[in-house]
Amino acid sequence: MNRHETREVAMTSLYQSFLLQKDIKRVLVDNDKIGNEIPPFLYTITIDATKNLPVYKERINKVLNGSWNFDRLGYIEQAILLIAATELDFETAQRQIIIDEAIELAKKYCDDDAYKLINGVLDRL
């Protein structure tokens, strides 16, 4: 899997974890695309991300305007923002690459204008 595909697997896995309230490790183990061992990059953007979820939620909430907060967003948007916030924190790639990848995921999986929200939040994180 390349990094883009890994981010997509991470996003769908986090989405399942949020939706089903299932442990992220269990979701990853049940995923046929991964195999027996979780690759380090995938581990970082899923398991490490969920370990630090309260920190990332707080950072994202500071950026969101008005009555919006992380918990009001859809699970897909939450997953994309969580992955990108983790990548920015762990510096897994250049900032612009991380933001561009998040925008591409939002354009593919979210409502038409969700990518604008993702871009705006990540620009200010």
Buried b / exposed e over 13-41, threshold 16 CB at 10 Å, is bbbbbbeeeeebeebbeeeeebeeebeeb
> Number of structural domains, the chain?
1
Geometric angle at alpha carbon 8, from 7 and 12, rounded to 5°: 115
Amino acid at 114: A
State the number of CA atoms in the 13 A half-sphere of 34 facing the CB.
23
Domain carrying residue 99: 3-124
pLDDT tens per residue across all 125 residues of the chain: 899 999 999 999 999 999 999 999 999 999 888 877 899 999 999 999 999 999 999 999 999 977 789 999 999 999 999 999 999 999 999 999 999 999 999 999 999 999 999 999 999 99
The Cα–Cα gap between 61 and 55 comes to 10
Whole-number pLDDT of residue 89 = 97
Assign residue 111 the CATH number of its domain.
1.10.940.10
Whole-number pLDDT of residue 34 = 85
The Cα–Cα gap between 122 and 70 comes to 13
Residue 66, phi then psi, degrees to nearest 5: 60, -130
Assigned token pair, 20 = 């089903």
